[in-house]
């Protein structure tokens, strides 16, 4: 069973699921940043900025993994 889960992480489907969940995380960070700006809360704004940087890095890593799989999807070019 563990081997199946490991193979799923490296499959196209697994990467697309990871991309989708990361996109939902980006929505959460955007809401957090908006709330922090409205409340003039610098610490929450810094937290949102660090979280956004982590999301961007995660998306870049996932995109690189998709390219390594040799994905010939129309969206990736």
Contact criterion met (CB below 8 Å) for 15 and 60: no
Dist. CA 23–CA 73, nearest whole Å: 19
Q: What is the pLDDT along the chain (77 residues), one digit of tens a residue?
A: 555 555 555 677 888 888 888 888 999 999 999 999 999 999 999 999 999 999 999 999 988 888 887 655 555 55
Q: Identify whether the C-beta of residue 55 lies closer than 8 Å to the C-beta of residue 20.
A: no
Domain contains 12: no
Decide if 2 is inside a domain.
no
Predicted pLDDT of residue 62: 87
Phi-psi region of 10 (alpha: psi -120 to 50; beta: other; left: phi over 0): alpha
Would residue 13 count as lying in a domain?
Answer: no
Would you state the pLDDT for residue 7? Answer: 55
The pLDDT assigned to 63 comes to: 85
Q: At CB < 8 A and 24+ separation, what contacts does 52-57 make?
A: 52/26, 55/22, 55/25, 55/26, 55/29
Single pTM value for the model:
0.69
Number of domains in the chain: 1
Residue 29 sits in which domain range?
A: 20-76
pLDDT for position 47: 96
What pLDDT shows up at residue 49? 95
Within a domain: 11: no
The total number of residues written for the chain in this structure: 77
Residue 14 inside a domain? The answer is: no
């Amino acid at each position: 069973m563990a081997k199946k889960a490991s193979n799923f992480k490296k499959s196209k489907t697994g990467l697309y699921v990871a991309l989708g969940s990361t996109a939902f995380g980006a929505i959460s960070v955007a809401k957090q940043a908006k709330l922090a700006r409205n409340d003039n809360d610098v610490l929450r704004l810094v937290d949102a900025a660090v979280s956004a940087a982590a999301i961007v890095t995660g998306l870049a890593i996932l995109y690189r993994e998709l390219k390594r799989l040799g994905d010939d999807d129309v969206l990736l070019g």
